[in-house]
Amino acid sequence: MARNINTIEEVLTRYEEDPETGCWNWTGNLDTHGYGHVTIDNKTCRVHRLSYGHYNGPLKKNLLVCHKCDNRKCFNPDHLFQGTHKENSQDMLAKGRWHHPVIAGEQHGSSRLTEKDVIAIRSFAKRNPVAGSKAFLSRWFGIDDGQISKIINRKRWKHI
């Protein structure tokens, strides 16, 4: 368990300054998202929020404390700004930090097909390009014929 820190002044001494970036990198505990955190008066707080509030006054309700430097350990008040969730997301996109993993195929939680099914659908459609084959595949695999068309035309399951 984290040691209970009594004052903001104690917090402000626990960093290593990066000479290249000017970041004040927190040297204490990090939460699961990589942000510095402490316990003051039995309440867990993120360090960058404490720093912003200490140097800039009270935080505005429903706003985030965001990092200009994109360094979650940093709590240099010159690197922090308040913003809405939308502004934080726009900042993230503008800086190219959006790395949403693409979950495709069998790994996707709502997938009804396997890779073998997709290969079989494409193979059958190639050998049987007659009217009604999509309807047959649709019934056989339990998905609608629009999805069958997208699979055959490689608009779905592109990685196979």
| pLDDT tens figures, 96-134 | 877 666 677 887 777 889 999 999 999 999 998 887 788
Burial class (CB in 10 A: 0-12, 13-18, 19+), 105: middle
| pLDDT number for residue 107 | 79
Q: How far is CA 22 from CA 15, 66, 96, 151, 154, in A?
A: 11, 16, 22, 51, 49
Q: What are the domain boundaries of the chain?
A: 4-94, 105-152
Q: Under CATH, which number does the domain 4-94 receive?
A: 3.90.75.20
pTM for this prediction: 0.58
Q: How many CB atoms lie within 10 A of CB 92?
A: 14
The confidence band for 1, taking pLDDT boundaries of 50, 70 and 90, is: very low
What are the residues facing 16 on neighbouring strands?
Answer: 25
- Give first-to-last CA distance, the chain, whole Å: 48
